[in-house]
């Protein structure tokens, strides 16, 4: 099989995408396939038509990779690819739209407001979480304690995105659940040493601890919700659903990731391994 691995891109997550792409390239080659790396460049269409791949493995995180744009391009070119299609990618990339869909289906999400660039807003509950509506890898994530910090955070986030989410801060535990080919993986609790799971905590070795859950009832509850989120957002092949579990046991969905990271510190390969699925096998399943 000839596989193009799309990696790098133009988003804030470019460096992580390159690491994901390198890991995927190695695995595809070890599986005996031809693997060709491609960055998101202006001559991408021409290169794809010249290479004529059997499949494209999308390892682009963030804008262009996870928001449905490159999926639409590949659909037009008639080239099969891994992961969710245009609709699912669009829905999951926009956390504001994700929240509206999940609220409709009565799945708990943090209370909050969405502010577009140029709009005025009111918010009086602190601490609060401020984040872009359409970025991944916790890029632009802030925990603010007062109005001054809130205004500064909103200003900074709006330099990254055209709209920002302001949400209640839920005291509790960060837990994530992966979905691979319609099956939920073992949930992992994330324990960031600085208190908030931001970009630094995600990608700096030693900044977070990861613990697999043992409570079977809680595991089943989170896996069931994750599968529902995967279904309601029209996702396919692979996703990772992030939760905040409150002190009183309510599982709030924070977001859905359609192209989880595949670096040495990434959670998705960790969950697969716990399930008995090695990295190469996971890549083989996504290419099948």
Alpha helices in 12-94 (DSSP H): 14-30, 44-51, 69-77, 86-93
Question: 137 catalytic, yes or no?
Answer: yes
Q: Which of 12, 136, 255, 266 is catalytic?
A: 255
Question: 261 catalytic, yes or no?
Answer: yes
Q: Which of 81, 140, 161, 240 is catalytic?
A: 240
Q: Report CA-CA distances (Å) from 246 to 92, 143, 188.
A: 23, 17, 15
61 touches 13 (CB < 8 A): yes
Question: 255 catalytic, yes or no?
Answer: yes
Q: Which of 64, 81, 197, 203 is catalytic?
A: 203
Q: Which of 89, 137, 208, 239 is catalytic?
A: 137
Question: 257 catalytic, yes or no?
Answer: yes
**What token pair was written down for 139?**
């890029």
Q: Which of 21, 62, 140, 261 is catalytic?
A: 261
Question: 242 catalytic, yes or no?
Answer: yes
Q: Which of 17, 89, 257, 266 is catalytic?
A: 257
Cis peptide before 127 (omega within 30 of 0): yes
Q: Which of 12, 13, 174, 237 is catalytic?
A: 13
Question: 67 catalytic, yes or no?
Answer: no
Question: 278 catalytic, yes or no?
Answer: no
Q: Which of 198, 242, 244, 252 is catalytic?
A: 242
How far, in whole angstroms, is CA 50 from its chain's centroid? 31
- Give residues with Cβ within 8 angstroms of 198, minimum separation 6: 138, 141, 192
Helix (H, G, I), strand (E, B) or coil at 212: strand
Question: 252 catalytic, yes or no?
Answer: no
Burial class (CB in 10 A: 0-12, 13-18, 19+), 260: buried
Report, as residue numbers or ranges, the catalytic residues: 13, 137, 203, 240, 242, 255, 257, 261
């Amino acid at each position: 099989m000839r596989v193009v691995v799309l990696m790098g891109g133009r988003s804030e997550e470019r460096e992580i995408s390159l690491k994901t792409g390198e890991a995927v390239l190695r695995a595809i080659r070890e599986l005996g396939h031809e693997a060709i790396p491609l960055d998101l460049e202006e001559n991408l269409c021409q290169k794809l038509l010249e290479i004529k791949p059997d499949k494209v493995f999308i390892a682009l995180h963030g804008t262009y990779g996870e928001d449905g744009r490159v999926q639409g391009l590949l659909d037009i070119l008639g080239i099969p690819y891994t992961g969710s299609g245009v609709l699912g990618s669009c829905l999951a990339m926009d956390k504001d739209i994700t929240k509206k869909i999940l609220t409709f289906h009565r799945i708990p999400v943090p209370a909050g407001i969405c502010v577009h660039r140029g709009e005025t807003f009111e918010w009086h509950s602190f601490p609060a979480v401020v984040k872009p509506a359409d970025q991944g890898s916790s890029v632009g994530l802030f925990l603010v304690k007062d109005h001054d910090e809130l205004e500064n955070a909103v200003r900074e986030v709006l330099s990254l995105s055209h709209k920002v989410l302001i949400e209640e801060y839920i005291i509790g535990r960060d837990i994530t659940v992966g979905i691979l080919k319609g099956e939920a993986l073992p949930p992992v609790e994330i324990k960031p040493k600085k208190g908030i799971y931001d970009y630094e905590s995600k990608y700096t070795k030693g900044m977070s601890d990861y613990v697999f859950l043992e409570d079977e009832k809680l595991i089943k509850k989170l896996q069931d919700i994750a599968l529902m989120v995967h279904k309601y957002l029209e996702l396919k092949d692979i996703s990772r659903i992030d939760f905040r579990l409150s002190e009183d046991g309510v599982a709030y969905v924070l977001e859905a990731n359609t192209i989880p990271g595949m670096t040495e510190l990434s959670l998705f390969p960790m969950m697969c391994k716990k399930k008995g699925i090695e990295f190469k096998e996971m890549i083989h399943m996504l290419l099948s």
